[in-house]
């Protein structure tokens, strides 16, 4: 895979220990070695396929056939425009080009297999998206389900990587308050039965699960209303299963913007769901600056976990680089835990993962998680009452700013748990200069504070670094501070805290 930045289904005790060591490696300084067959997933970049071409796949789904994973998603013309010039900002061009197919055996290197459907297959323009594929055990066909304008389109293929033929449409789903799905995804249960997981089209406060017609999967049967949100709409709906429990997860109704991930859980797919909860690990950076997009389980010889495929929608949100951000979900008992990583290693055959050597441990490092102007920024703590985000950054739509019309002393910081080792802290800075003191700093890591001064005039974005930070306590505080005069200001963006 190929820059911006903002469960384990485990029965044997050995797998519990392995997964626990992996989690502790990211939290307490213990280091779980990356498996020898691991490949690296690099987030916060535009991914490229094995031929070196950009991967265009949004709002899609993944299935596994044998040892091969197949990934389906939509290619929009605006995605190409944004990829070629992200500095120009977001685009409103959601016109449909194709549903693409990519294949991989290691979840990091993806081969472009071709287009499952093109615009001409579905009558040209209009909205096409929220794609899923399931294999029907009766017909032997692979069935693709996608939104098509105000309804659904079904298409089939004899192979997972083939060009799919349109096999029908559907204009309404039974027992849905507005008659049709809003955001949706396809979930296949252990017995091979496939379901559509979705919210209603308008308002999106009602959540549903509906089976696909068993005989051929070419129709969505009457839906079951499993939950109604009292706190606004839910979109980007996904479903996964762990140890007999079904998890239905969604995002806030924020358009293309990032969100906490909200989940409900039940031992039965069509009912008995408990209270909604925020997926642990998605709060500090709003699900690694994404909304829920897809989910699938990786099970191997030594473990199992869920891959959370977050849609960043940078093309339509303008929030930096990268469309697809894939992160591991593990389980603490029945509680799912999301791991926000910019880089991680995955061994698909073993079913294991570990944090990458190049992982950036700062959460919301580019201040893109907050979709509107904020003083209290996701993942950060303000001291002194000065600081917040501003429109326009080194990359993406937002940066941090510290300024006031009165003299001030302020600090904005983040406390981070991480493995012991030597790190480099970096950030991109603009400064008006003139502060009595202003610095990007690192402290509380087992030695005295280290910093780099930013109280000199820097009109353009300038990268500053603090090198040789040797962490011995399994934690660190990083941030920006100032003792400033009235009218002094500093802007900071794209923090990095990387080992080595």
pLDDT digits (tens, 9 = 90+) for 265-304: 999 999 999 999 999 999 999 999 999 999 999 999 999 9
3-state secondary structure of 454: coil
Locate 202 and state its tokens.
């308008």
Yes or no: say if 226 and 247 are a contact pair by the CB < 8 Å rule. no
Residues sharing a CB contact under 8 Å with residue 75, sequence separation 6 or more, in sequence order: 56, 57, 58, 96, 97, 98, 99, 100, 115
Q: In what order do the strands lie in the sheet with 165-170?
A: 128-135, 142-148, 151-157, 165-170
pLDDT at 23 exceeding the cut of 60:
no
DSSP 126: S
pLDDT at 218 exceeding the cut of 60:
yes
The yes or no reply on domain 381-499 and CATH 3.40.50.10440 is no
**Which helix (H) or strand (E) element contains residue 463?**
strand 458-471
The ranges assigned to domains in the chain are: 13-355, 381-499
Distance CA 197, CA 471 (A): 44
For the segment 69-83, the average pLDDT, to the nearest whole number, is 98
pLDDT tens sequence across 327-382? 999 999 999 999 999 999 999 999 999 999 999 999 999 999 998 999 999 999 99
* pTM score of the predicted model: 0.91
Res. 60 pLDDT band, cuts 50 70 90? very high
Q: Give Cα 278 distance to the centre of its chain.
A: 15
CATH number of 13-355: 2.115.10.20
Decide whether 13-355 matches 381-499 in CATH topology. no
Residues sharing a CB contact under 8 Å with residue 123, sequence separation 6 or more, in sequence order: none
Distance CA 494, CA 479 (A): 12
């Amino acid at each position: 895979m190929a820059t911006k930045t903002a469960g384990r289904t485990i029965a044997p005790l050995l797998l519990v220990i392995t997964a626990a060591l992996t989690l502790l490696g990211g939290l307490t300084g213990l280091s779980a070695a990356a498996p020898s067959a691991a490949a690296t997933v690099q987030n916060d970049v535009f991914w490229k396929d094995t031929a070196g071409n950009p991967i265009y796949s949004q709002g899609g789904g993944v299935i596994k056939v044998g040892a091969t994973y197949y990934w389906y998603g939509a290619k929009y013309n605006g995605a190409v425009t944004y990829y070629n010039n992200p500095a120009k900002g977001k685009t409103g061009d959601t016109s449909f080009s194709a549903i693409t197919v990519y294949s991989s055996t290691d979840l990091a290197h993806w081969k472009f297999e071709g287009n499952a459907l093109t615009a001409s297959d579905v009558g040209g323009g209009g909205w096409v998206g929220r794609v899923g594929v399931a294999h029907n055990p009766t017909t032997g066909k692979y069935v693709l389900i996608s939104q098509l304008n105000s309804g659904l389109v079904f298409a089939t293929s004899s192979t997972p990587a083939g060009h799919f033929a349109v096999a029908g449409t559907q204009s309404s789903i039974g027992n849905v308050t507005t008659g049709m799905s809003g955001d949706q995804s396809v979930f296949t249960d252990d017995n091979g039965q496939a379901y559509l997981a979705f919210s209603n089209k308008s308002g999106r406060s009602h959540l549903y699960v509906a089976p696909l017609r068993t005989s051929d999967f070419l129709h969505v049967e009457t839906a079951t209303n499993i939950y109604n949100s009292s706190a606004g709409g839910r979109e980007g709906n996904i479903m996964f299963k762990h140890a007999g429990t079904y998890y239905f997860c969604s995002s806030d109704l924020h358009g293309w913007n990032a969100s906490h991930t909200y989940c409900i859980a039940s031992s039965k797919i069509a009912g008995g769901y408990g209270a909604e909860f925020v997926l642990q690990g998605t709060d500090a950076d709003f699900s690694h600056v994404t909304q829920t997009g897809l989910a699938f389980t990786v099970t191997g010889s030594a473990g199992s976990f869920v891959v959370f495929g977050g849609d960043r929608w940078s093309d339509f949100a303008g929030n930096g680089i990268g469309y697809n951000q894939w992160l591991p979900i593990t389980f603490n008992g029945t509680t799912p835990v999301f791991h926000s990583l910019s880089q991680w290693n995955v061994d698909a055959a073993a079913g294991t993962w570990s944090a990458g050597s190049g992982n950036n441990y700062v959460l919301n490092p580019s201040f893109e998680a907050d979709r509107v102007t904020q003083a209290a920024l996701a993942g950060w703590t303000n001291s002194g009452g000065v600081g917040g985000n501003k429109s326009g950054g080194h990359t993406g739509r937002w940066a941090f700013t510290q300024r006031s019309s009165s003299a001030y002393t302020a600090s904005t910081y983040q406390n981070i748990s991480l493995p012991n080792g030597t790190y480099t802290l970096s950030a991109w800075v603009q400064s008006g200069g003139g502060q009595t003191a202003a610095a990007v700093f690192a402290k509380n890591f087992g030695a005295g504070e280290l910093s780099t001064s930013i109280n000199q005039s820097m009109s353009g974005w300038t990268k500053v670094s603090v090198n040789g930070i040797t962490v011995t306590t399994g934690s660190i505080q990083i941030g920006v501070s100032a003792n400033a005069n009235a009218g002094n200001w500093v802007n900071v963006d794209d923090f990095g805290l990387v080992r080595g």
